[in-house]
């Protein structure tokens, strides 16, 4: 938690089970913002999958009694919500997806409508991790700018999934995003700090 002179309240949600690169990105943005913030580490929360019971369609409330209840209270009080997830098989992580699915009551009640969102993701295109996803020679691709772009495809897809959730479903305004494709978030430190400063001026 950090308190400086800004009035904005930011909630940063990390969907990283390991808590390494993703949390570095999140922390860098939050520190640069100088705003009051809270970090939610989904790996430490007990959030069950959405049971699709349909109860929230009427009540706009979720009957599942777990740590998501605390987030139903907190999220509508934030000005800015940062979603930070590693890319896992061209998608968000399982714990982030559980969180997203459990946001159905907030979608139905439109409680996050108009809030600002920031998106962060990181992937690592090392051969052992994405060989199965991208059917080409990674070393060769690195030498060619056009195919180098393809290396980050799974990561941009992950970013897009979070964007659709925030923008289309939750009706939030995405004010910035950063993605890292080489598993080295330090390489984007300047961009992350810049994003933090942009947030501070919102």
List residues binding ligand FMN (CB under 6 A). Answer: 16, 18, 20-22, 86-90, 122-125, 129-130, 133, 154-155, 183
* Chain centroid, CA 10 distance in Å: 13
CB of 62 to ligand FMN, least distance (A): 27
Which SS3 state, helix, strand or coil, does residue 39 take? strand
CB of 23 to ligand FMN, least distance (A): 6
Residues 71, 192: Cα–Cα separation, whole Å: 25
CB of 155 or CB of 172, closer to ligand FMN = 155
From the CB of 26, what's the least distance to ligand FMN, in Å? Answer: 9
Nearest residue (beta carbon) to ligand FMN: 123
Nearer to ligand FMN, 14 or 62 (CB): 14
In eight-state DSSP terms, residue 124 is B
Residue (85 or 104) nearer to ligand FMN, CB: 85
The full length of the chain comes to 202
Half-sphere exposure of 12 (CA within 13 A, CB side): 26
Name the residue nearer to ligand FMN (CB basis): 91 or 109: 91
Question: Of 89 and 107, which has the nearer Cβ to ligand FMN?
Answer: 89
The β-bridge relationship of strands 173-180 and 36-41 is unpaired
Q: In 66-174, which ranges are continuous DSSP H helix? A: 68-74, 94-101, 104-109, 127-130, 138-142, 145-151, 153-163
- Min dist CB 133 to ligand FMN, Å, is 5
The minimum distance between CB 125 and ligand FMN, in angstroms, equals: 5
The residue whose two tokens read 């690195």 is 142
């Amino acid at each position: 938690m950090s308190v400086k002179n800004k009035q904005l309240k930011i909630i940063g949600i990390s969907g990283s089970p390991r808590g390494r690169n993703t949390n570095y990105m999140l922390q860098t943005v939050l520190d640069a913002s100088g705003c009051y913030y809270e970090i939610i580490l989904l790996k430490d929360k007990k959030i069950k999958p959405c049971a699709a019971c349909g109860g929230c369609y009427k009540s706009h409330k979720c009957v599942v009694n777990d740590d998501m209840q605390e987030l139903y209270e907190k999220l509508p009080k934030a000005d800015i919500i940062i979603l930070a997830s590693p890319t896992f098989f061209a998608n968000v992580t399982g714990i982030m997806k559980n969180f997203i699915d459990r946001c159905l009551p907030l979608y139905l009640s439109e409680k996050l409508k108009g809030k600002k969102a920031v998106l962060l993701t990181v992937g690592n295109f090392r051969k052992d991790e994405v060989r199965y996803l991208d059917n080409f020679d990674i070393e060769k691709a690195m030498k060619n700018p056009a195919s180098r772009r393809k290396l980050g495809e799974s990561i941009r897809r992950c970013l897009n999934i979070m964007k659709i959730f925030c923008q289309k479903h939750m009706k939030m305004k995405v004010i910035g995003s950063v993605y890292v494709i080489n598993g080295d978030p330090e390489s984007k430190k300047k961009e992350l700090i810049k994003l933090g400063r942009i947030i501070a001026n919102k």
